[in-house]
Amino acid sequence: MKKHVLLSISFCLYSYAAFSAQSWDNPAVLCPEEILPSGITCPDFSRVENPYTDYPDSMNKEEMNNWKNNKSADLRLCRNAEVLRREEVKTGSFSKATLESAWMVVDGGKQVKEKLAAIEAASSKLGIPPQVLIGAMKQESMLSSLGVSPDGGNYSCGMSQLNIQEWCLSMNKLPEAQRIALGWPAISCEADVLPTDLVKPFYDIAIKNLGTRPSYQLASEDFKGITPKDVISSFPNSNNQEKRFQAVASFVNNCQDISLSVQFKAQTLKALFDNFVPKALKEAELYSEGKTFPRTCKNAYSTKAYPLHTGWLLAVAMYNAGPQQAKLLSHYYQVKNNNYPAINPLGLIEALHWGGKWKKDTDFLLFKDQDGNKLTQRWFKSCIVQRHVARVIQHVTIPNESIAKSLDQEGCKLTGVPVYRQISSGVK
């Protein structure tokens, strides 16, 4: 038997064992309020050797287990707050990456009531499971108010890490009075009008205003005082320069607003769900009349979709890597005439990772849509997107439980396709 067939069989055995063990109408996920810290007083980690793993000597085993199992979000915040404290006492104690991660966790634990209210309002209005929405934003920003960041020319901002085009689409849906109050002009969201790198001259000026703070802590105050003459000369030629300035100024001044950020992220995912998720996936994994998520949470579960609804997770994947992910999914499962088999979250991760056959001597995977049109995708994108979906699930999983894992065996590298992935047929 060929090696790639053996690999495929062994992987499917793992997958279906996991499928049968998981109840998707009642998966091992937290309530929304349990995913975020509650603000309880932290243990004293100042004397422990490793703030990420150790506990104070005064804490007994029962107390440790209580923190790990019932206060895990607060425990994580407390450990990262200790990292920031130690860095403040002795500069250079931790790497820049460690400090950025710690800051994101700690900042993500601020204004929790406002964040939860916005998340549950968006979930109720748009039908997106709150666990999927929270997991998606935790994967983007750890629910912190990240400042504007270049992100490969995308210039994303805030908890939801939306760029100006995505922001524009939701801004244009607001009532006129609210748009005016936020300084948003009547403007098209098309790329030739609002290219994402239009934010760059604003960003370059704001960076100079940062002082000693790191760039991920950019705030709206750092953009104050920027005038049209400071930036418009850097814009591509257009008849809309003044409106462009107004749009970018409004974006950088408001993109860290919690309510708007959550609302707009949910609307962006909803648009992908409505326009690109196959009907069969939309209509699967829904609670029947009189049924709902059985865990007792602070607020009633307000959507018919299962907490880890595969269609909504596919929308998250498409936000991360484009609508083509739906075609990769159908290729992997050899779907004809939109007759999809039953697919759950693990099956989605499986397809995103294994879908598409390697094109020899390249970094690309080859696959076809249901009409037989040939498509390609870089292995790096496939690797990252399956990892992204797995982590979205991991962010909302009950402590000490395991639902999903990333399937990459050698990490996600920008170039080169690992040997284990080269020998896959790319179909189930």
pLDDT one-digit tens code per residue, 312-361: 999 999 999 999 999 999 999 999 999 999 999 999 999 999 999 999 99
The candidate with the shortest Cα–Cα distance to 312, out of 111, 53, 123, is 123
Tokens of residue 120, six digits: 């549950």
Same domain, 45 and 25: no
* Domain assignment of residue 54, yes or no: yes
Same domain, 203 and 319: no
In this predicted model, what pLDDT tens digit does every residue of 95-121 receive, in sequence order?
999 999 999 999 999 999 999 999 999
Mean pLDDT of the 76-87 span:
98
Same domain, 279 and 394: yes
**Number of alpha carbons in the 13 Å side-chain half-sphere of residue 189:** 13
How many domains would you assign to the chain? Answer: 3
* Domain assignment of residue 323, yes or no: yes
Mean pLDDT of the chain: 94
pLDDT reading at 418 higher than 90: yes
Position 21 scores a pLDDT of 60
Cα torsion through 370, 372, 377, 379, rounded to 10 = 80
Same domain, 90 and 163: no
Same domain, 363 and 305: yes
* Domain assignment of residue 115, yes or no: no
* Domain assignment of residue 212, yes or no: yes
Same domain, 69 and 86: yes
* Domain assignment of residue 66, yes or no: yes
Same domain, 103 and 210: no
Same domain, 396 and 334: yes
In this predicted model, what pLDDT tens digit does every residue of 125-167 receive, in sequence order?
999 999 999 999 999 999 999 999 998 999 999 999 999 999 9
Structural domain boundaries enclosing 58: 37-108
Give the whole-angstrom CA distance, residue 392 versus residue 133: 9
* Domain assignment of residue 342, yes or no: yes
* Domain assignment of residue 129, yes or no: no
The candidate with the shortest Cα–Cα distance to 171, out of 243, 91, 239, 267, is 267
Is the Cβ–Cβ distance between 262 and 137 less than 8 Å? yes
Angle at 65 between CA 59 and CA 69, to 5 degrees: 135
Same domain, 176 and 243: yes
Give the whole-angstrom CA distance, residue 57 versus residue 116: 34
In this predicted model, what pLDDT tens digit does every residue of 33-77 receive, in sequence order?
999 999 999 999 999 999 999 999 999 999 999 999 999 999 999
Same domain, 312 and 413: yes
Query: Which of 108, 137, 162 is the C-terminal boundary of a domain?
Result: 108
Give the whole-angstrom CA distance, residue 281 versus residue 323: 14
Give the whole-angstrom CA distance, residue 236 versus residue 191: 12
* Domain assignment of residue 132, yes or no: no
Give the whole-angstrom CA distance, residue 10 versus residue 20: 16
Cβ contacts of 351 within 8 Å, gap of 6 or more: 328, 329, 332, 333, 343, 428
Burial 363-381 (b: 16+ CB within 10 A, else e): bbbebbeeeeeeeebbbbb
Position 82 scores a pLDDT of 98
Q: What are phi and psi of 418, to 5 degrees?
A: -60, 150
pLDDT reading at 12 higher than 60: no
